[in-house]
Amino acid sequence: MAYIIDGKALSQKIRLDIKKETEQLKNQYGKIPGLAVIIAGEDPASKVYVKNKILACQEAGFFSVHRQFGADVDAETLIRTIIELNADDNIDGILVQLPLPKPLDGDAILPFIDVRKDVDGLSAFQQGLLLQGTPDLISCTPNGVIELIKSAGKEMSGKNAVVIGRSNMVGKPMAMLLLRENATVTVCHSKTENLKETVKNADIVVAAIGKAKFVTADMIKDGAVVIDVGMNSVDGKLCGDVDFENVKEKASAITPVPGGVGPMTITMLLKNTLQSFKRKVGASL
């Protein structure tokens, strides 16, 4: 039976460190990190995420700004808000909660965020730095996954890692981060042939698909590390992309859903905001 990687506990520990460092920096520089969250529309899941992000900021001792717009907001209004926040010296991180309601197009709006305040790490600049091997603000979810694997004491160097999913938010930066840890990385997607055989060869599996219980025990090598990024609603309950109950019998370590990757994503957002703030005040990174 696998070691269950407790993302909530790890998250609490890192958030406490961030809070302590924030207090020290406040004493030293007389300023605190600031995060601005922009949300459009009334999607219930998005509203919960935003509430949790604001709450996490408050607990860490950060300043936070929450800009809520209706679903009918136009792109110009959102862009104007971003430009104002770019110029606001109290704000170190700006994020636009995704997905945006239709017909708003995130690809046309997100590029207006100052790349040094892009704490979601989604801009071409931040993703380009990661691709070049000199990351700055790393995409939060994959960064959290690396911390979870490290916390379980699992070696990545030289191991076969398979990432299922190739989104800009999770799959692609995940592959780059695993490569930085010297894993041999394969990325699978909806067109992959022999997916089961490929996953079965993996020492580390990261599932970021968006399909409940997609990864089953027969796809998993004995002793593999299995990280479940998926968040699916099944009969009103949160469910991952991995068939947790059966896979945990074969894996050596596994993250649960909820309580695995999810809490770490917000923690990495705090980490990025703190990093952006430290650069601004000239503190060592």
**How far apart (Å, rounded) are the C-alpha atoms in residues 84 and 188?**
40
The 130-159 site mask, x for binding ligand NAP (CB under 6 A), equals -----------x------------------
Q: Least separation, in Å, of the C-beta of 118 and ligand NAP? A: 16
- Within the chain, strands assigned E span 3-4, 34-40, 63-69, 93-96, 160-164, 184-188, 204-207, 225-228, 232-234, 237-239, 253-254
Q: Least separation, in Å, of the C-beta of 88 and ligand NAP? A: 27
Indicate the burial class of 245 (C-beta count within 10 angstroms; 0-12, 13-18, 19 or more): exposed
Q: Kindly give the pairing relationship between strand 232-234 and strand 237-239.
A: antiparallel
Q: Which of 34, 93, 173, 230 binds ligand NAP (CB under 6 A)?
A: 230
- Position 108, amino acid: A
Q: Least separation, in Å, of the C-beta of 204 and ligand NAP? A: 17
**How far apart (Å, rounded) are the C-alpha atoms in residues 277 and 159?**
35
Q: Active-site residue among 53, 117, 159, 250?
A: 53
Q: Active-site residue among 6, 92, 97, 154?
A: 97
Q: Which is nearer to ligand NAP, 89 or 193 (CB)?
A: 193
Q: Which of 142, 173, 256, 262 binds ligand NAP (CB under 6 A)?
A: 262
Whether 53 sits among the annotated catalytic residues: the reply is: yes
Q: Least separation, in Å, of the C-beta of 165 and ligand NAP? A: 4
Q: Which of 58, 190, 201, 233 binds ligand NAP (CB under 6 A)?
A: 190
The 158-177 site mask, x for binding ligand NAP (CB under 6 A), equals ------xxxx-xxx------
**How far apart (Å, rounded) are the C-alpha atoms in residues 231 and 208?**
9
Residue showing tokens 């900021």: 57
Among all residues, which ones are annotated catalytic? 53, 97, 120
